[in-house]
Amino acid sequence: MAKRPAGTLYRGKLGMWTWVLHRITGVGIYFFLLVHILDTALVRVSPEAYNSVVASYKTEIIGIAEIGLVAAILFHAFNGIRIILIDYWRKGAKYQHQMFWIVLAIWVILMAGFVPRQLMHIFGA
Amino acid sequence: MAVIIEQPDAPRSRKGAQWEKRAWIFMRISGFILVFMIIGHLSVNLVLPEHGVKAIDFAFVAGKWASPFWQVYDGILLWLALIHGTNGMRTLVNDYSEREWLRKTLNITLWVVAATLIVLGTLVITTFDPCIDPNVHNYLPDLVCKA
**Amino acid letter for position B7:** Q
ipTM of the prediction? 0.89
CATH topology for A18-123 is: 3 helical TM bundles of succinate and fumarate reductases (1.20.1300)
| Of the listed ranges A110-119, B10-19, B42-51, the one predicted with least confidence | B10-19
Whether A47 and B58 have beta carbons less than 8 Å apart is answered as yes
CATH topology for B26-138 is: 3 helical TM bundles of succinate and fumarate reductases (1.20.1300)
What is the CB neighbour count within 10 angstroms for residue A82?
20
Query: In this structure, what is the dihedral angle of CA atoms B48, A68, B77, B86, given to the nearest 10 degrees?
Result: 180
Confidence of residue A10 (pLDDT cuts 50, 70, 90): confident
Best of A31, A33, A67 to substitute, by most chain B Cβ atoms within 10 angstroms, is A33
User: Where does residue B63 rank: exposed (0-12), middle (13-18), buried (19+ CB within 10 A)?
Assistant: middle
Distance CA A74, CA A68 (A): 10
Distance CA A14, CA A97 (A): 7
pLDDT for the residue numbered B17: 76
Question: Which residues of A fall below an 8 Å CB-CB distance to B?
Answer: 23, 26-27, 29-30, 33-34, 37-38, 40-41, 43-44, 46-47, 50-51, 54, 57-58, 63, 66, 70, 73, 77-78, 80-81, 83-84, 87-88, 114, 117-118, 120-122, 124
Distance CA A33, CA A4 (A): 42
Residues of B in contact with A121 (CB under 8 A): 51-54
Residues of A in contact with B86 (CB under 8 A): 30
Q: Which of A23, A34, A66 sits opposite B113 (nearest CB)?
A: A34
pTM: 0.89
Question: In chain B, what are the domain boundaries?
Answer: 26-138
pLDDT for the residue numbered B145: 86
pLDDT for the residue numbered A1: 54
CA distances from A92 to A6, A48, A78, B35 (A): 15, 51, 14, 19
DSSP B84-129: HHHHHHHHHHHHH--SHHHHHHHHHHHHHHHHHHHHHHHHHHHH--
